[in-house]
Structure 1
Amino acid sequence: MPDLDLDAINAARDRIRSTYLAPEASRPASSARGLHHVAIVCADVETTVRFYQGLLEFPLTEIFENRDYAGSNHFFFDIGNGNLIAFFDFPGLDVGAYAEVLGGLHHLAISVEPERWERLKAKLDEAGVEYLLESGSSIYLHDPDGTRVELISDPLGEMYGEVVL
């Protein structure tokens, strides 16, 4: 880990919080209606469907041809609360392996009910899927293409006991 000036980092965080974070009572409503979908590239449609629908229990809701690349599929999974994750495959293109890069996707955090979280954890164990258990409420794993996914049992709008929304 690099040598960091934690006092300066904390001071900057405090300055940003006091400058930009409005109290909830005076915070304006968002201009957005919600997350329509997050789009991720995958290598194989069927492998992706088996992982997200079969293992993680996110129903496949639609699949059609990608308008931007003939022969490519654009397909969607329901992650609850009117939100979707979507995938593209690009047959014939070598898109390479997933890479976590500055400005790229770090991980996708998906809230699941605690009972379902326990069931999914057991399914991951049974399937031999490696994961990292963090703080007793987060499971970090990688999908078949290396995308990092977090299954978090905290309610939407909360994280590790903190209200974030």
Structure 2
Amino acid sequence: MALTDAQVAALTATRDQIRDELMGGTSATSARGIHHTALISGDVRRTVDFYQRVLGFRLTEMFENRDYPGSTHFFFDVGNGNALAFFDLPGLDLAPYAEVLGGLHHIAISTTPEEWTAARARLDAEGVEYMLESGTSIYFRDPDGARVELIADPLGEMYGERVV
């Protein structure tokens, strides 16, 4: 459903008001960083192969999920002490990936420009469809449908704008 010009204008005004009233502040953030982001895997071997071989993220740990016997919890190093984690949930009848309120839209992972180019070549070799944006972002779906962005901009920046 496309928005009307009037709806877009109203949303822009609301966004501007929120930014003007609430952005910034004088105190530092209370967080140290994201320890890990956890996604769901439909097939552990397929997920490990994709994230490690195609994207170049090193598998660092794998153990049984403490909350669900038989389930595997596994982690990839995505730099700067950050991890991307997965669970498989065998025996549960899970629906395919979908964007829902409160759900994941995409995960953006920073790479060097050189690694971004190499990852793009590996995606091409695997036949993974993707969308290029602004010369530094590449969007694609992982084997379970989650949207991933590789971005070659420095951490804290996006398309030349400081975001942190």
TM-score of the alignment, normalized to the shorter chain, above 0.5:
yes
Q: Hey, what does 1:50 align to over in structure 2?
A: 49
Correspondence 1:1-165 to 2 at 5 A: 1-4=2-5, 5-22=7-24, 27-165=26-164
Moved more, 26-35 or 117-126: 26-35
2-structure distance, mates of 1:124, 1:107: 17
State percent identity of aligned pairs.
62
TM-score by length of 2: 0.95
Gaps of 5+ in 1: none
Output one character per residue of 1:36-66: Cα deviation in whole Å (capped at 9) or x when no partner: 0111111110000000011100000100000
Moved more, 65-74 or 121-130: 121-130
- Secondary structure in structure 1 of the residue aligned to 2:27: coil
Instruction: Give the letter for the 2:80 counterpart.
Output: N
- Secondary structure in structure 2 of the residue aligned to 1:13: helix
Shift >6 Å, 4+ stretches = none
Instruction: Give the letter for the 2:152 counterpart.
Output: S
Gaps of 5+ in 2: none
